[in-house]
Structure 1
Amino acid sequence: MASVKAVQPTENGEDDQFDAPLAVLETSGSKRTWQQTLSVLISGVALFSDGYNIQITGYTNTVMAKLYPHALTTTMKTRLSNSILIGDIFGMLLFGLCADRLGRRWGIVGCTFFLVLGVTLATAAHGKSPTGMLWMIVIARGVAGLGAGGEYAVCTTSAVEAANETAGLRKKRGFFVVSATNTAIIAGFVGSAIVFLIVLAAYGGEPTEGVWRICFGIGIVLPLTIFIFRMRMVDSTLYRKHGIARKAFPYKLALRRYWKPLFGCSFAWFMYDTVIYPFNLLAPTLAAGFNSKATLLQSNGWGALINFFALPGCIFGSLLIDRLGPRQTYAFGMVMVAIFGFAIGGAMEPLRTGGTGAFAAFVVLFGLFQSFLSVGPGNNNFLVSSESFPTPVRGQFVGLAAAIGKAGAAVGTQVYPLIIARFPTVIKGHQAMFCIGSATCLLCAVIVMTMIPDRRAQLEDEDVEFREYLEANGWNTADMGCLGNEIVSSSTPSEKEATKL
């Protein structure tokens, strides 16, 4: 059984060291307090901003297309959609590194700064011409993406480590981490739809400059609201015990030990994002295809309803994770997505030509398709990626996996429109889109079950094994953590327990 060094003060004030099995330390601090639960949620809830700022682009593009028809070419529209994704990728890599080398708290502060700066610049964008203004928005959203992407690595590691502080939290770690990560992102998707529809309705359903500026500006609210709480956060107990902050870092040893789960998490996340992002962005277009006379408000309203189905999927999936396990829930969700996707693809033509009732059936089926994308990969990408690696490299490996996933989003948003255009009719193109997406989901389920390990109930088990692995390969672990080799347990064992040990 793995063990750690615990420190117990003796009567004369000197520290008496002994080996404490993790199974014993697991029984300490079993109750969770509301402050500890809140710290898990605060760690990740800013991911709402990432969901909001990515999805709002799909809605505001429909307004800008009418306001600036000559400036907003297909190429420029792609730049607007991909600028925040490119910023996300760099942010995930940069702040994943910062989270491991400088600490979780400083990573969170840096993410918030860039996110607020970028959204502010996009809201105030101006130029001598519409094209110049759109270029400023592209750059500003790239800056916002740098902060939003960093949230993936920093928030996920902070949330999963905060949910590991007590046995009470560990029993529901999946539920709490999902609530702070994917549920926050999907809530951002839904929130962007609600905000857009309200603002558009306030302008009488007509496309005006005020619509997109207000929608962009609202994305600043949440990061600023929780910033004061995040400034007061401290690094997790796991990081203070096992973090490696010195210049030298055992990258080769870490990759040698964890290459398989790193590849599995990264590839699965990549395939998921090749599906979810293009389907989210094209939801209003898919809905509009059933009614060529739909107004701007109607087509976006139906798209918003379809995307809303993902939120109950998040909640339902979060209740399954701690019962089935993250990996099993992941694969289950992917298989269900494939079933609904093949059903929609096969029935697309009668659904499109069957009148109002068929349109309602399409909305329900597509909604369930979106819902199970949240039940499986949406919820569990964060969890399996963070639980597969030890604390010293968690931020960097989660950031790398998420960055590869975002690359999949960029690929998907580029490739699926090209696939649709290759077919003689739009209906045939949409059929192909659903069938290819469903096949991708089945492949993803296979990767998850073969290359991603099952969760560890106690994250520190892997930390201790990684430390022993480093020592066995000649790496000096004396200065790991802020206390070196003396790893202080969260609560001191009683005298009776110490005697037994």
Structure 2
Amino acid sequence: MDSKKSEVDEVTVSPILHPSNDTSKDAIAQPSTFSRISRISSIFMVLVGGLALFSDGYNAQVIGYMNPLFKELYPDAFTPTIKTRLSNAFLIGEVFGMLFFGWGIDRLGRRTGIVFATLFLIIGIVLATAAHGKSPTSMFWMMIIGRGVAGFGAGDETAFVRRRRGMLVAVATDFAIDLGFVMAGVIVLIVLAAYHQHINDGVWRVSFGLGFVLPVGLLFFRLRLINSTQYRKHAIKSDIPYWLVIKRYWKPMLGTSLAWFMYDFVTYPFGIFGSTIIGTLNPNNTLVQNIGFGTVLNCFYLPGTLIGGLLMDKIGRKQTMALGFFLWSILAFIIGGALNPITSVFPLFVVLYGIFNTLGEMGPGVGTFLCGAESFPTPVRGHFLGFAAAVGKAGAAIGTQVFTPIQNSFSDPQKGVQGVFLIGAAFAMVGCLLTWFLIPDKEKDLESEDARFRAYLEENGYEGTFGESIDAEIKSSAFHI
């Protein structure tokens, strides 16, 4: 690479910045060409990213529909401990995946991280689908390991879109995941119908195995994606000044991480065990009815993401997130406090449970990701967002871990359901307070925060390199123009 292209391709931060004065034709034309390629790649990134998250949602939620099936198919082996471990495995894998890929994205770029994530996801799904053992218990443990590996692969971070990110992030991330939740239920019902509602291990193997199709199909397209413009302009390739970063961003890091913990602690167990709750309150239901009701409950997630996306752009990220947490908490208190009269009209309980899901997605469902992304500058966004999301998934794993024991601690199953709703309400209210007092109001323009961050590093004497070469990505990209 010649010296003129080098000046365009990277910016070096030192106590005094020296912008390039090179106005040669090559220096101007290459960024213009890259900009067009990057725009095309960004469109594909949003589409492919949305499909990938749809796949992740399917693979995360399908286990929730399998729990009632496993209970009937393997009544002795499917103990409360196995049920909890199996429900938790994907989430615990995601915790480690988010930490690892959060680190890898900032150092290696989106494409490298995505490829490794997809490979882990595929391997994990294959292991879970092909699970065998000398006994049902050993088969379940192989399944647990496979889902843990798949969860690790699902722990990669999602790209951001700059303009009107509220609605775009809602549709490209949360809506896609929730649609995967819904389709998991639909697919399980179709598979059961194909087996004429005859319960055998083919039902869960086919349901798990179908989660393999989309990641394989997307792998080629993910290989061709180039890194986002924001990442290329501002990435720190080495020697990240962690102390300076934490000193400046400790408060939003604490706020986004703890709020995400509260959200996932509540939403994941109520989503995964939705069919189980329905079966507990209405024990005369068939397996198909319980899975069907669980699918209906997950459908209520979808309008929540769209409403939240609109409100994020209208009244602000922090305000929408706090409002969602507050309303979520109030409704959970109502359901938990008045569960007996509510369940006497069972469709009313299903509708209120569904609205409960809607409110969770409307506020923290969209807000945790977006506030976490916009609270930090591009060079360290993957680190901080990966950490916050990992804390959130730790909340999901803990919530899933304690959900069944809390229910079982009550002699009356209905009291157990009442207890988990009231505890969920308390956690949601804490999430509201954390959001209001710890998460800052941020500008929609990520570039402004990046500029302030670079100035802050300069003032504190940091010398390092931002940006990376454009040439290699243009040559390897499939989107030549």
The change in CA–CA distance for 1:5 and 1:68 in structure 2 (over 3 A counts) is: farther
Gaps of 5+ in 1: 17-28, 165-169, 485-501
State the distance in 1 between where 2:384 and 2:303 align.
29
Deviation at 1:33, TM superposition (A): 7.3
State the distance in 2 between where 1:463 and 1:483 align.
19
Give a deviation string over 1:4-53, Cα, whole Å, max 9, x none. 9876754x65979xxxxxxxxxxxx9xx9787444323234312222111
2:356 — aligned with what?
369
Matched, 1:465 2:457: no
1:130 — aligned with what?
136
Contact 1:7 / 1:15 at 8 angstroms: preserved in 2?
A: no
1:492 — aligned with what?
none
Matched, 1:280 2:286: no
Matched, 1:141 2:147: yes
State the distance in 2 between where 1:101 and 1:304 align.
39
Higher RCO (C-alpha under 8 Å, 6+ residues apart): 2
Output the TM-score relative to the length of structure 2: 0.88
51, 61, 64: which one aligns with 2:57? 51
What are the equivalent positions in structure 2 for 1:260-339 lying under 5 Å apart?
A: 260-339=251-330
State the distance in 2 between where 1:128 and 1:287 align.
33
Secondary structure of the residue aligned to 2:467 is coil
State the distance in 2 between where 1:413 and 1:14 align.
56
Contact 2:281 / 2:413 at 8 angstroms: preserved in 1?
A: no
Letter of the 2:229 partner, please give it: T
State the distance in 1 between where 2:39 and 2:337 align.
50
Deviation at 1:421, TM superposition (A): 2.7
State the distance in 2 between where 1:351 and 1:396 align.
44
Deviation at 1:307, TM superposition (A): 1.7
Give a deviation string over 1:207-241, Cα, whole Å, max 9, x none. 21110000001111221222222111111111111
The change in CA–CA distance for 1:424 and 1:122 in structure 2 (over 3 A counts) is: closer
Identity between Structure 1 and Structure 2 (%): 49
Secondary structure of the residue aligned to 2:273 is helix
RMSD of equivalent CA atoms: 2.2
2:171 — aligned with what?
179
Matched, 1:480 2:466: yes
Secondary structure of the residue aligned to 1:45 is helix
Gaps of 5+ in 2: 1-16, 29-34, 471-481
State the distance in 2 between where 1:195 and 1:6 align.
56
State the distance in 2 between where 1:270 and 1:347 align.
27
Letter of the 1:391 partner, please give it: T
State the distance in 1 between where 2:55 and 2:42 align.
23
Deviation at 1:429, TM superposition (A): 2.1
State the distance in 2 between where 1:82 and 1:266 align.
20
1:490 — aligned with what?
none
State the distance in 2 between where 1:260 and 1:431 align.
35
What are the equivalent positions in structure 2 for 1:160-309 lying under 5 Å apart?
A: 160=160, 163-164=161-162, 170=163, 172-246=164-238, 248-309=239-300
1:406 — aligned with what?
393
The change in CA–CA distance for 1:184 and 1:367 in structure 2 (over 3 A counts) is: same
341, 344, 351: which one aligns with 1:350? 341
Contact 1:201 / 1:297 at 8 angstroms: preserved in 2?
A: no
Deviation at 1:419, TM superposition (A): 2.4
37, 45, 66: which one aligns with 1:39? 45
Give a deviation string over 1:262-318, Cα, whole Å, max 9, x none. 110000000111101111122112222343221111111112111211112112222
State the distance in 2 between where 1:72 and 1:390 align.
46
Output the TM-score relative to the length of structure 1: 0.85
Letter of the 1:482 partner, please give it: E
Matched, 1:76 2:63: no
State the distance in 2 between where 1:452 and 1:323 align.
18
413, 420, 435: which one aligns with 2:407? 420
State the distance in 1 between where 2:188 and 2:364 align.
27
The change in CA–CA distance for 1:273 and 1:5 in structure 2 (over 3 A counts) is: farther
State the distance in 2 between where 1:223 and 1:13 align.
42
State the distance in 1 between where 2:18 and 2:346 align.
63
